[in-house]
């Protein structure tokens, strides 16, 4: 028996055996990784599929509708067969080769965005690539000009269910939406400077508490965005560069689509690497205790921007209203949400004598079931009920 055991040990620990076992282990790991990459490409991220399954069940129970489980690319390709001017919604992008920072999507396009409620958000972009009926830009007097990120943009709903469209309907006057996904305070200020239209009565600045200050940290590292802070007259003249921007964005979109359908994407394990970044990110919320807190330095930089926004509004004889948007995580019982900058931001706004509308207190705190303001009651953006209530609060706002 002992002799047999020793014989096995000699075989196992011989150099050739070690190399062979290591090779087998390496090949197994290599194959396993690519099998998982293929799984992610075919079925998507596990946590996303879990949410879609729950949403699908809830949607069917609610109104008998089926959840659209097509990928965004599939929807894009389906629509493009009947409309050549179909695009994917793009975030604000810095294009190094062209040394230009764009803040909108592809102009005059049927644009595919997202699916948070079972139905894809698809909208016709205006002449500058924003989420508006193009004719709004031809009006001489603007009642509302909205600045903000994806919540202002209207993510998760179709027109006319976004905030800007509801304001347009309530006031029977012109309202322009300059929101886009991923914008932070400095990019929002740049958008205001680039696309502000004369004879605007009300500038509505919508601040989202969950990530606006975090976005600002990134924005302060970009040389073009910093110019907007340093020089009051700085401009990229984006309105005059519509054709150039259109070409840049279409080239960018085509390069992204080409990569998505290439073997290179699979070889580089793009989906797996992105998935690992998601689950290692502190904002992935595997931990249900959420604490939003940014440094005093970032808050000071935000105050500088808001001061400039206020000065800009006053110099153009526009009213400025600061709208504080709460994170949906506040109202989901599975999370423990805390924002250490909440009161600080509100006091900052009041200190600058800017009109303030706190949606957290004005709407969400008054709701018996705040989850009814979210897409199928899940974390994400607001649904059509949430957006409508916010628009009504803005419309009915009376300065102190």
pLDDT of residue 8: 58
pLDDT of residue 285: 47
The secondary structure of residue 67, as a DSSP letter, is P
Q: Residues 341, 293: contact at Cβ < 8 Å?
A: yes
Task: Say how far apart CA 190 and CA 174 lie, in whole Å.
Answer: 22
Listing DSSP states for 263-331 in one string gives HHHHHTTHHHHHHHHHHHSGGG-SSSEEEE---HHHHHHHHHHHHHHHHHHHHTT-EEEEEEEPPGGGG
pLDDT of residue 151: 98
Task: Say how far apart CA 91 and CA 87 lie, in whole Å.
Answer: 12
- Kind of pairing between the strands at 355-358 and 122-124: unpaired
Tens of pLDDT, residue by residue over 79-88, are 999 999 999 9
Which contiguous run of DSSP H or E holds residue 259?
A: helix 242-260
| Four-point Cα dihedral 220, 224, 230, 232, nearest 10 | -130
Task: Say how far apart CA 155 and CA 380 lie, in whole Å.
Answer: 9
Task: Say how far apart CA 341 and CA 213 lie, in whole Å.
Answer: 9
Q: The pTM is what?
A: 0.89
Which contiguous run of DSSP H or E holds residue 229?
A: helix 223-230
Task: Say how far apart CA 313 and CA 353 lie, in whole Å.
Answer: 13
pLDDT of residue 213: 96
How far is residue 179 CA from its own chain's centroid? 10
pLDDT of residue 12: 56
pLDDT of residue 26: 72
Report residues of the chain scoring pLDDT below 70.
1-17, 21-22, 39-43, 262, 281-287
pLDDT of residue 11: 58
């Amino acid at each position: 028996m002992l002799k047999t055991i020793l014989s096995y040990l000699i075989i196992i620990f011989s150099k050739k055996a070690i190399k062979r076992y290591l090779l087998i282990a390496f090949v197994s790991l290599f194959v396993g990784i690519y099998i998982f990459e293929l799984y992610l490409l075919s079925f998507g991220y596990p946590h996303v599929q879990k949410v879609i399954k729950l949403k699908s069940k809830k949607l069917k129970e609610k109104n008998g509708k089926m959840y659209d489980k097509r990928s965004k690319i599939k929807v894009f390709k389906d629509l493009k067969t009947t409309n050549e001017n179909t695009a994917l919604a793009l975030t604000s992008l810095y294009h190094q080769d062209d040394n230009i920072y764009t803040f909108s999507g592809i102009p005059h396009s049927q644009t595919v965005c997202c699916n948070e409620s079972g139905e894809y958000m698809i909208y016709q972009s205006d002449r500058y690539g924003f989420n508006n009926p193009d004719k709004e830009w031809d009006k001489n007097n603007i009642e509302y000009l909205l600045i903000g990120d994806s919540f202002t943009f209207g993510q998760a709903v179709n027109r006319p269910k976004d905030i800007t469209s509801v304001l347009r309907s309530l006031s029977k006057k012109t309202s322009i939406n300059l929101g886009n996904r991923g914008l932070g305070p400095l990019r929002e200020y740049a958008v205001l400077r680039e696309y502000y239209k004369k004879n605007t009565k009300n500038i509505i600045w919508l601040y989202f508490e969950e990530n606006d200050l975090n976005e600002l940290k990134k924005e302060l590292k970009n040389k073009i965005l910093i110019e907007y802070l340093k020089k009051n007259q700085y401009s990229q003249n984006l309105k005059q560069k519509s054709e150039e921007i259109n070409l840049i964005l279409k080239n960018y979109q085509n390069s992204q689509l080409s990569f998505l359908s290439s073997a290179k994407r699979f070889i580089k394990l793009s989906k797996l690497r992105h998935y690992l970044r998601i689950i290692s990110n502190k904002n992935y919320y595997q931990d249900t205790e959420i604490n939003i807190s940014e440094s005093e330095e970032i808050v000071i930089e935000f105050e500088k921007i808001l001061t400039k926004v206020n000065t800009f509004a006053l110099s153009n004889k526009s009213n400025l209203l600061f709208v504080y948007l709460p994170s949906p995580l506040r109202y989901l019982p599975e999370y423990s949400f805390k924002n250490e900058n909440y009161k600080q931001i509100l006091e900052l706004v009041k200190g600058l004598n800017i009109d303030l509308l706190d949606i957290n207190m004005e709407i969400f705190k008054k709701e018996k079931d705040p989850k009814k303001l979210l897409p199928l009651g899940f974390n994400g953006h607001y649904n059509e009920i949430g957006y409508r209530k916010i628009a009504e609060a803005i419309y009915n706002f009376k300065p102190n």
